């Protein structure tokens, strides 16, 4: 059963704002390669995020910090080739926008020009205001990212829920208003109390897409390896698993190994 209120042939930044206006929730997932993105796009997911979580789930790093701009462009290029409908948003990786606004713009331009992605995502609020302005002034659509911002993990020291204290919650609310005022088309809100996330979503007219931010926001995003159950050792409360691919894939690989060892693969029919 389809629950979309309107059919969008291609999802644009404007479609997302319309979805919020019409009360239609936005479905977003990450992807990092052609084959996965083709399935995700074909399933009608509205936004594909080429997240810097590729650093964790594709490259096996402990944090998102090591992934480079060239590597993000490689992932994004593969995803863009697969897409017919979804909006493709690409993370600016750590170190590609924090030092100065000119470098931030250069990094965003490289992503747009070399990958064909449709928008970029940056982590942070007031502290990256000048970089956001430069990128937006160049006509590049920007998705913000507030709350738990994994590129700052060594500052936070932990991946626990953010903005539980009044001062941090107040800063988050004013950062969300600032991002809207600067011209961002949407904001990802990661791991904050549901009540605060709802308040933020109601205070601005651009969509707020949550991950661990409860049901009062305008859409949801999950890392694809997590929702497919491939990262089975990762079990945060917010994660709903839609498949157990770790189990399925392990079984397939074991069956294949057994068939090769027992000489039952290939059969007479599977050879030339
Ligand atoms: O990189 C990523 O996958 C993200 C999501 C967690 C929102 O930023």
| pLDDT tens profile 121-152 | 999 999 999 999 999 999 999 999 999 999 99
Q: What is the mean pLDDT of residues 14-26?
A: 97
Any atom of ligand 1 within 6 Å of the Cβ of 176: no
Annotation: CATH topology of 13-241: TIM Barrel (3.20.20)
Any atom of ligand 1 within 6 Å of the Cβ of 51: yes
- The model's pLDDT over 47-63, given as tens digits with 9 standing for 90+, comes to 999 999 999 999 999 99
- Give start-end residues of each CATH 3.20.20.60 domain in the chain: 13-241
- Which among 77, 36, 28, 79 is positioned nearest to 190, based on CA atoms? 28
Q: Is residue 29 very low, low, confident or very high in pLDDT (cuts 50, 70, 90)?
A: very high
If you ran DSSP here, which 8-state letter would residue 163 be given? Answer: -
User: Do residues 212 and 234 touch, judged by C-beta distance below 8 A?
Assistant: no
- The model's pLDDT over 104-114, given as tens digits with 9 standing for 90+, comes to 999 999 999 99
The residues annotated with a catalytic role in the active site are 190
Rounded-to-integer distance, Cα 247 and Cα 123, Å: 34
Please name the residue whose Cα sits nearest to atom 6 of ligand 1. 223
Residue reference for tokens 């609020």? 125
Residue 8 has pLDDT above 70, yes or no: yes
Residue 177, helix vs strand vs coil: helix
How would DSSP label each residue in 92-112? PPTTSSSS-HHHHHHHHHHHH
Q: What is the mean pLDDT of residues 11-31?
A: 98
- The model's pLDDT over 72-118, given as tens digits with 9 standing for 90+, comes to 999 999 999 999 999 999 999 999 999 999 999 999 999 999 999 99
Beta strands in the chain (DSSP E): 26-30, 47-50, 87-91, 119-121, 142-147, 186-190, 208-211, 219-222
Pocket test of ligand 1: the residue of 52, 66, 148, 189 to mutate, having most ligand atoms within 8 Å of its CB, is 52
Q: Does the predicted TM-score (pTM) go above 0.85?
A: yes
Rounded-to-integer distance, Cα 232 and Cα 234, Å: 5
Residue 10 has pLDDT above 80, yes or no: yes
Any atom of ligand 1 within 6 Å of the Cβ of 52: yes
């Amino acid at each position: 059963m389809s629950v979309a209120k309107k059919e969008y042939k291609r999802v644009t930044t404007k479609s997302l704002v319309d979805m919020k206006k019409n009360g239609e929730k936005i479905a977003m997932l990450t992807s990092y390669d052609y084959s996965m993105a083709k399935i995700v796009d074909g399933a009608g997911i509205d936004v594909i995020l080429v997240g810097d979580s590729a650093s964790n789930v594709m490259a096996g790093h402990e944090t998102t910090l090591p992934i480079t701009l060239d590597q993000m462009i490689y992932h994004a290029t593969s995803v863009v080739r697969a897409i017919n409908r979804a909006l493709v948003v690409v993370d600016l990786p750590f170190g590609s926008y924090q030092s100065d606004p000119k470098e931030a713009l250069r990094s965003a331009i490289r992503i747009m020009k070399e990958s064909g992605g449709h928008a970029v995502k940056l982590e942070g609020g007031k502290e990256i205001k000048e970089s956001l302005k430069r990128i937006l002034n160049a006509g590049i659509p920007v998705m913000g990212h507030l709350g738990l911002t994994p590129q700052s993990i060594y500052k936070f020291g932990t991946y626990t829920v953010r903005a539980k204290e009044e001062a941090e919650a107040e800063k988050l609310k004013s950062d969300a208003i600032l991002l809207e005022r600067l011209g961002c088309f949407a904001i990802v809100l990661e791991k904050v109390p549901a009540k605060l996330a709802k308040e933020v979503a109601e205070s601005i007219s651009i969509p707020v897409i949550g991950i661990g931010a409860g049901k009062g926001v305008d859409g949801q995003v999950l890392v694809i390896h997590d929702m497919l159950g491939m990262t089975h050792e990762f079990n945060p409360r917010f994660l709903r698993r839609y498949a157990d691919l770790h189990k399925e894939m392990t079984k397939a690989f074991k069956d294949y190994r057994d068939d090769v060892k027992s000489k039952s693969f290939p059969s007479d029919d599977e050879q030339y």
